[in-house]
Structures are given as C-alpha cells and as structure tokens.
Structure 1
Amino acid sequence: MTDFTHIDTYVFDLDNTLYPAHCHLFGQIDRRMSEFIQARLSLDETSARKIQKHYYSAYGTTLSGLMKEHGVQPRDFLDYVHDIDVSVVPQDEGLRAAIAALPGKRYIFTNGSVRHAENVAGKIGILDLFHDIFDIEAADYLPKPHEDTYHAFNRRFGITPSRAAMFEDLPQNLVAAHALGKTTVLVQSDADWMEDEPEDKRPSRPGETYDHVHHVTADLTSFLTGLKTAA
C-alpha cells in the first residue's frame, strides 16, 4: 500500500481529474471557448482555435490571455464556457466512498469557477465531501501553474504543504506543488480528444514520468482505495 499516513489535507483538481477524461466533458468546454472567441473577436473557427491555444500556452489559461489582450470580463467568459451538459459525467459511488474515507480536509483547487465545480462535483455525487473550493476568482484570476496562486491557496486554508497531497491531470500544475513540499499525484489519461493541446500544456499519458511527480495513476478510485492513511 502507498503510505499517506503523513497526509492530512487532500487537494484535487476538478476537470479530467475527479471525472474520467474519456467522458469528454472538457471537450464541451474546449469547444465553447472557441465559440466565445469567434463571436467576441469576429474570427473564423480556425483563427479562434489558434488564439485559444496560444493564450492557454502563454498565459496559463485562455481566459487570462483574453483578459490581458482584449479586456474580456471573466464572468462573461466563465458563464459561457461552463454552460455545458454534465449528463455525460457518471455518478461515481466508488469514488465517493474512496474520498469519504480520506482522513483530514479535502479541497477542490480549480482554474474554473465555483459554479462549475459545484455543478460537476454534484453530478458525480461528491460535492458534499469537500470542505471548500478554491477557484479562479479566489486566485484573483492568476491561474495554476503560477506559484503565487499555490501560496494563496495554502494561506486561505492554513495548509502545511508537507502534510498535503495534490491530485492533477496536468503535470505542469504539479511543479509548484512539488517545490512547496506537497506530495504530488498525476492522474493520467489516453483520451484522444485532447490530441491538439499544446505540447507544454497537454494532459499526461500513461507511461510518462516526471521528476516532480511522486505518484501516477490512470484510475483515481483505485489509487485512493489503495492508500495507507492516518487513523
């Protein structure tokens, strides 16, 4: 069993981490980001897609680039891109039981909005298991992987990094967590709809390893149920 007896705080990313990437929920968000850019900047689909991915790579999120380069109001963007069909996300009793068994505090740490996190986690059936949600607004719109945002998260909830574990699907979002002393867990996927993501921002695939990642898994529920935790 993997020894997590030193962990008293469990931090989870939301998208493609708490639900399986192959359900394609984030694919809906991805398409709506392109649609928003097409309409707001009067661009064709190809040009909008290019801008979307460039800003994602350069600024950490597409939203950050749109705010800095075009003065887009974050609420307009977030409300539009998160207006999605969550019926594709499966309710997951196994994951619920695994998270409920974790001792200590549990948080969602997302570059999305609280509304989106509540919507998705509610559909999975795990929302009530989390003590709080730290979203992009709480981060003052400075997204992961910026290290200042991790410090802000830790301050908000009084987290001791050496006693915290962070779960993410994007390896670059675990760099700062590792540097601050957290145990890092990478949730990998081979979902093919993510093939056009920028190479420096794409989700990790099974078999890939990183110096700043302590553990990897393609099955979050199995990983959590296999932990040796504090009594």
Structure 2
Amino acid sequence: MADDKRQALRQAAEAKVWIFDLDNTLYPAHCNLFDQIDRRMGTFIQNFLGIDAAEARALQKQYFRAHGTTMRGLMTHHGMDPQAFLDFVHDIDLSVLPAAHVLDEALARLPGRKIIFTNGSVRHAERITEHMGIDRHFEAIFDIVASDFVPKPDAGPYRTIVAQHGIDPAQAVMVEDIVRNLEPAAAMGMITVLVRPADAGAGAGAEAPPDYVRHLVHDLPDWLHLVSDTLAAPGQVPGPAPGG
C-alpha cells in the first residue's frame, strides 16, 4: 500500500501543469466565503427581477441545476448582463480568510506551471489570491468569461483551457472540490484530485468518490507537501508535512 501511495504521489509530482479550482479549494470550505456569494446572488435576483426573497431563492437554485450556474440561467432566460452580476455577487468580505502560509510554502515547493480554472471571475480570483498571499504562484486565471460563460462541468471549457494554455492533459493535474467537475478532466487523461474536508460528515457528497477521482484529499496544503516530498526523497514514504 505504501508503494502504491508513493507511486501515485510521484506521478502527480511529475506533472507539468497544475489546474486549481478556486472557491472551497484554494481556501478552506469552513470559511463559508461562498455563503456570502450565495446570499448576494439572491439579492441580485430580487432587485433585477423585482421579486421577493423566496421567489428569488427558488429561481436561483432552479437555474443552477438546469444551467450549471445561476448566472447562465439569468442570461438565457432574462438577457442579463453577466458583468453586472459578477461584479455584484463577488463584492464580499475577505477578512474571514485565514493566513495561507502553509499553502504558500506548498505551492512554492510544487514543480510545474499553475493555473486557476474557476466558474467565477478573474477579479474574484485575484482578490482572493492576493488576500491570501498566493497570487505569485499562478501564471493565469481561466474564468467564466474566458469560457464564454459556459461553466464547468461542460466539456467545452476544458478543451478551451487546454488549447489556450498549451496543456498536455496526460501531464496535468486538476484539483477541485466539486466531484462532477473532475469527470471531464479525467476523460481527457488528467490526474484528478478531490478536496473534501475530513469533517464533511455522512450526508450527501460524503460517499466514496467515483473511480475517475484519483486522489481524495482532506487538507490541500498538507497533501501538496507530500507530493513535493516524493521528488525530494523518492525512496521514502512521505511523512507529515511541515505545519500539517
């Protein structure tokens, strides 16, 4: 088992490109940052359509299920300006984000190019990574605008990011907190990493991940340290990461 683990980690360490989701992936889900976004979506819909909070909430979730993002549903059915939506919903308080010293160190040690792939906006990703002090590690942010407002897990944006950034999927790792967003990456040949908090509980989403998920990770900085350690000491089984 130790040999299998070491080999899987080494394969990830030898990847040429790392593709990271943003929300609830690069920062811990317990920050509840997306809850702020979720509430602002509801407020935007109320104001935009002139409906009450209950109606807005129902429509928000209906569009998310049907179109992959609430924004896409509003664009499709109401001709909404997506930029106005993105600007409003991402105007959030980042003070809840913790210091990211361990993640910063882990990204610095990790070989390979690093790109953010998000259903949010470039500005949203920039604000978060700058606040966390990790923006220097990423060469590009591929956002919902770059994907022509088609969200993950539609396969189109995956093909676009690979083409635009010269990525060989067989030499890439994709890191996500939403399991369905990893399926297209796995189909292209990428190593897939699902980030799920250890205290996720026994509810929906806590079941064993599907076969297309290569690694299930509870602490991303700790796991990235383990990946780097396989190159630093390839003959040893990785131990706990610094600060992990």
- Contact 2:13/2:111 (CA < 8 Å) preserved in 1? no
Correspondence 1:25 to 2:28: no
- Structure 1 CA distance for aligned equivalents of residues 231 and 61 of structure 2: 42
1:154–1:160 Cα contact (<8 Å) kept: yes
- What amino acid is aligned across from residue 220 of structure 2 in structure 1? L
Cα deviation 1:10-45 (Å, max 9, x = unaligned): 010000000001011111001000111111111211
Q: Find the counterpart in structure 2 of residue 95 from structure 1.
A: 103
Contact 1:90 1:123 in 2 (8 A): no
Corresponding residue for 1:184? 192
1:68 maps to which of 51, 73, 76: 76
Residues 185, 192 of structure 2: 8 Å contact kept: yes
CA offsets per residue over residues 47-81 of structure 1, 9 Å max, x none? 11111111111111110000001101000100000
Structure 1 residue 230 displacement after superposition? 5.6
State the secondary structure of the residue aligned to 1:122: helix
Q: Which has the higher contact order (CA 8 A, sep 6+)?
A: 1
Q: Could you tell me which of 166, 169, 175 is aligned with 1:161? A: 169
Matches of 1:175 and 1:49, distance apart in 2: 28
Q: Give the Cα separation in 2 of the matches to 1:163 and 1:24.
A: 32
State how far apart, in whole Å, the 2-side matches of 1:209 and 1:80 are.
34
User: Which has the larger Rg?
Assistant: 2
- Distance in 2 of aligned mates of 1:132 and 1:85: 24
Matches within 5 A, 1:115-134: 115-134=123-142
What is the 5 A alignment of 1:28-43?
28-43=36-51
Structure 2: which 5+ residue stretches go unaligned? 1-5, 233-244
Report what 2:216 is aligned to. 216
Partner Cα distance (2:108, 2:23) in 1:
19
Q: Which residue pairs with 1:15 in the alignment?
A: 23
- 1:171 matched to which residue of 2? 179
Structure 2 residue aligned with 1:53: 61
Q: Deviations over 1:94-128 (max 9, x none)?
A: 00010111111000000000000000011111011
Measured in 2, the distance between the counterparts of 1:191 and 1:19 equals 15
Query: How far apart, CA to CA, are the structure 2 residues paired with 1:58 and 1:225?
Result: 38
Contact 1:22 1:191 in 2 (8 A): no
Output the CA distance in 1 between the equivalents of 2:47 and 2:13.
Answer: 50
1:116-158 Cα offsets, whole Å, 9 max, x none, are: 0000011111011101100011111111111011000000100
Residue of structure 2 equivalent to 1:79: 87
Aligned-pair identity (%): 48
1:5: Cα distance to partner?
A: 3.9
CA distance in 1, matches of 2:129, 2:168: 25
**Paired residues of 2:60 and 2:70 also in contact (CA < 8 A):** yes
Q: 8 Å contact 1:21–1:191 — kept in the other structure? A: no
- Aligned residue for 1:162, secondary structure, equals helix
Residue correspondences, number: 221
Instruction: Answer whether contact 2:63 2:73 (CA < 8 A) is retained.
Output: yes
Where do 4+ consecutive residues of structure 1 move more than 6 Å? none
SS at match of 1:32: helix
Q: Over aligned residues, Cα RMSD in angstroms?
A: 1.6
